[in-house]
Amino acid sequence: MRIYRYWKTRTMEIDNTVFHFKAGSNESEEHADSILDRKVEYCKEWIAGGPSDEKMAEMDAFFADRKDGMEYEVPVCEELLETVDEHNIISRNRYGAAVLNSENHTILDIDPLPCTFGQWFLSLFGKKRPEPKAEILAMLDKLLAGSEFQGIGVRVYETAKGIRLILSVTLFPAYSYAAQKVMYTFQVDKLYATLCAKQNCYRARLTPKPARMGMKTALKFKFPYDGTATEERQAWLDEYNRKAEGFATCRLLRQYGEEFTTPVIELHDKMCKAASNLPLA
């Protein structure tokens, strides 16, 4: 997982083609700018016919040392709100909510399950499907009773539309076969699984979705911010934080297997108001 405090962007035309460059740093904006210069230089070398072996080796060494742009992980390009520890950070997503990004906590979000052929067929005879959350919980009962998950603790939370799980085991890296297999087994949302793999971390929204609190969502928190709409953004956040006091993001329903917790889970539960009876949003 990679996230940077400082970002620099640049749009420029090279050989009649418009390119958009972005680079991040945790040292300073000037350092991010220097990395951006290297990326532009690297692009120009390739457009001009490719760098020499010596130049290629120099560029590869630079980016490998920086771990920027030359490895599998896609950086989390969001405003950094809090560094919990070296494996867990909180960022602000594009619609303004706080999100936990974790390397060492396996977090799975399950949306309503797709309709099977059997369910569709039975519906023709008037048989109704179970309520979506009840259907997910029934699936969990069946899966977690099997030998594959014996000895594993699972915390189960209700969200506004589905179910969230936190497992006692760490499936890392998140793009590994083991992690993706478990996400497939639990029928985790495919877009969520893809994002976990690309960013090599698990994500859990900690604060409510603004639309579910009746707020306008036209304001996008596209990071890095360009310096405009600063007052508008702050006014929106003030309203968002006020309204969020009356809502929870998820609610702890039950635990399977051994009971467990960590400081990160405790922070997750506190920010999500998981022990409250507030409406979910």
What is the domain partition of the chain in residue ranges? 6-66, 79-272
Distance from the Cα of residue 236 to its chain's centroid: 22
Burial degree of 96 (CB within 10 A; 0-12, 13-18, 19+): buried
Identity of the residue numbered 141? D
- 188, 205, 186, 206: which is closest to 197 by C-alpha? 188
Q: What's residue 140's pLDDT? A: 96
Cα dihedral sign, 268-271-275-278: negative
Q: Write down the pLDDT at residue 124.
A: 65
Burial class (CB within 10 angstroms; exposed 0-12, middle 13-18, buried 19+) of 2: middle
* Residue 66, number of CB atoms within 10 A of its CB: 16
Q: How far apart are the first and last CA of the chain?
A: 27
Residue 191 and residue 37: Cα distance in Å, rounded? 33
Rg, the chain, Cα only: 22
CB 118 within 8 A of CB 135: no
pLDDT at 1: 86
Backbone angles phi, psi at 223, to 5 degrees: -105, 140
Across the chain, which has 281 residues, the per-10-residue mean pLDDT values are 85 84 86 86 77 66 51 79 96 95 96 70 69 93 92 96 96 90 93 92 97 84 84 92 97 95 98 98 97
